[in-house]
Amino acid sequence: MGGEVANDMELPLSWAASGQSILKLNIRHLWLCGVWQLPGSWMFEAYGALGLALGVWNAIEGSLAIYYSWGDMEETTLVLTSTVYIGCNTIKMAFSRRNRRQYYALARRVQTLVSLQSESCFADPALAGIQKDSQRLALRLTLGILLFMFAQCFVWFPTPLVAHPGERRLPLVQHAWDNNTNYYALSYASQCVIGAWTSQLGYSVDLLFMAVMILVAAQLRILSLRIASLKTEDCEENLEDGERRMNGMPADTCDKMYENLCLCIETHQKILRFIKHLQNTMSSVVVTQFCCCVLVACVALFQATYSTDFSAVLMCASFLPVPSSHVFLYCWAAHNVTEQAEVVVFSAYSCSWVEASGRFKRALRILISRAQKPLVLTAGHIYPINREAFVSLVNASYSYYALLGQMNRRSNQIIRS
């Protein structure tokens, strides 16, 4: 039975089902990028395969350009900026298509997770506000960042035509082997298409996981408030038989506070199981993204600092927020999940446990013991994803940039001497 339920969770969503999902915008944007079936057909598979083929072609094109420009650090780093970034997004596309069943299950499970505490949210406007605010934040960040990345196309793609009119320059990778003479229009169009396609795809995958983590953090916050609001029920002492009673019934059979705590513990366990599934689903993507962004930020900063071509400086300066924002999205959202998980412990201490029954205190100790275990999302089950990780990756990127700058100065000194 459990296997059948798991298989049902991994089935593709229909178009109508995606419209009712809390991740509607993320799912349909991934569908537009050729990753998420709704439900799908051979035409959709061909469409996705075309995206992968264009990504592979760009990697080949970039490798050839690096070979022909080797020794020219400015040209090499400019090619690396686009080639590594597009290559990273192509790898993410391959991972997403391979693990699409996990993505389907993730969408269904997050919907179930949000509905777990819907009754409490319905009864308390403050809790309902937290849930609505998290959904609104996820939607606005997704839409805003996708539009920001789309705006980059108007910087990168027309710049060669404006800055170098008549020189037949390409937007991403120059064909040094034929001086951009063969199939210039086709090459220009293909680079624009693959650049726009993969940049939207790369952000779309990251924003899906960011949205899920925002929703999970909100559920942990709601759970903390529910636990902190647990109060001792009105009790009365039966003086004739000395039996502690609650609302006219024995406390052992009518302990509403204990029942509410049990519901909170059950919700906490389901959230932890969901986070484990989220960890397994996004682990390979996060590792790829972190490695890529360190290198891309390094070479883009080098171009923005040392390049003598104003158009290259403009493109790289406008591109610099992109790799850092990829990393920041994960680190910020995952850190919020960790923080809200820690709040559960303090909320348990804040409830009215002193006057509660013995079984309530025993159950509360179990909750506290479990909640005290740090809940840290990791990349590849090794590298923690939090704000400290973001600072560490930025420092690593700057260190590589400083190394490139030192190598560039030495090479210039050798040429002058």
Q: Does residue 245 carry a pLDDT above 60?
A: no
Domain span at residue 204 reads 2-416
The number of distinct structural domains making up the chain is 1
What the block records as the tokens of 86 is 């597009």
Mean pLDDT within 278-282 = 93
Higher pLDDT, 8 or 188: 188
pLDDT at site 238: 38
Confidence of residue 254 (pLDDT cuts 50, 70, 90): very low
Percentage of residues in the chain having pLDDT higher than 90: 56
With a cut of 50, say whether residue 334 has pLDDT above it.
yes
Name residue 105's amino acid: A
CB 172 within 8 A of CB 160: no
What residue type is 310 in one-letter code?
Answer: F
Torsion sign over Cα 289, 140, 101, 281 = positive
- Percent of the chain past pLDDT 70, that is, above it, reads 92
Residue 121 in tokens: 């949210």
407 or 131, which is more confident: 131
Q: What burial class does residue 278 get, using C-beta atoms within 10 Å of its C-beta: 0-12 exposed, 13-18 middle, 19+ buried?
A: buried
Average the pLDDT over each of 254-258, 278-282, 344-348, 385-389 and give the range with the smallest value.
Answer: 254-258
The pLDDT of residue 7:
66
pLDDT at 417: 66
* Predicted pLDDT of residue 355: 79
39-43, 324-328, 347-351, 379-383, range with the lowest pLDDT? 39-43
Confidence of residue 6 (pLDDT cuts 50, 70, 90): low
Mean pLDDT over each residue of the chain, to the nearest integer: 87
pTM, 2 dp: 0.91
- Of the pLDDT bands very low, low, confident and very high (cuts 50, 70, 90), residue 155 is confident
339 falls in which pLDDT band (50, 70, 90)?
Answer: very high
pLDDT of residue 2 exceeding 60: no
Check residues 3 and 379 and name the one with the higher pLDDT.
379
Task: Give per-residue pLDDT as tens, 54-87.
Answer: 999 999 999 999 998 887 878 888 898 999 999 9
The mean per-residue pLDDT over the stretch 339-361 comes to 88
Q: What is the pLDDT of residue 69?
A: 86
Q: Average pLDDT, stretch 203-226?
A: 96
pLDDT of residue 194: 93
C-alpha–C-alpha distance, residues 122 and 221, integer Å: 16
Task: Kindly tell me if the per-residue pLDDT of 249 is higher than 50.
Answer: no
